[in-house]
Amino acid sequence: MQKLKTMLVASALVVGAASFALAQSATGGSAGSAAAGGTSASTLGLGATSTGQNGTSSSIGVGGSAAGGDKQQSKSYVNGNQNNLNGMAKSQAHEQGGTFSKSMTHEKVHKGEVTSRTKSMSHEPGGPPTKSSSENTVGAGQ
């Protein structure tokens, strides 16, 4: 009887290890900000996906903010279907005279892969624009 219990426990451990080995997950994101004069803008995005015995679960969050200047605008959206998720956040602030700051983040979850890209830019008249970007991909193909 003791031998049978030992075999059952060992079998359960092997099955548990096999199901753990089948699970895959990925999490990634990016963020950026820009500032010039009295304006600033920032955006960020984060995505995650996990695949296991019971299927795939994914999520995305994006957002941004803008401050200063005479006009501020910030918008974001998330949409998707059973195969992918997409999210975008855009923020910008403008001052009279041409000073502005803006930032944009795009987040995507598709086929076990999380891709994130952020671009930011600021400018004051009389000088060159300041730009920055970041991009990363995490998941199935990596």
CB 45, CB 116: distance < 8 Å: yes
According to DSSP, residue 22 is labeled H
5 pLDDT exceeds 70?
no
Per-domain residue ranges for the chain?
25-139
Residue 65 in tokens: 């903010």
pLDDT at 18: 41
Q: Which tens digit of pLDDT belongs to each residue from 7-61? A: 434 444 334 444 444 568 999 999 999 999 999 999 999 999 999 888 889 999 9
pTM (two decimals): 0.81
| Confidence label for 139 from pLDDT (cuts 50, 70 and 90) | confident
pLDDT at 10: 41
Higher pLDDT, 56 or 132: 132
Residue 27 in tokens: 């999490």
CB 34, CB 121: distance < 8 Å: yes
Q: Which tens digit of pLDDT belongs to each residue from 49-106? A: 999 888 889 999 999 999 999 999 999 999 999 889 999 999 999 999 999 999 999 9
Q: Distance between CA 92 and CA 70 in Å, rounded? A: 11
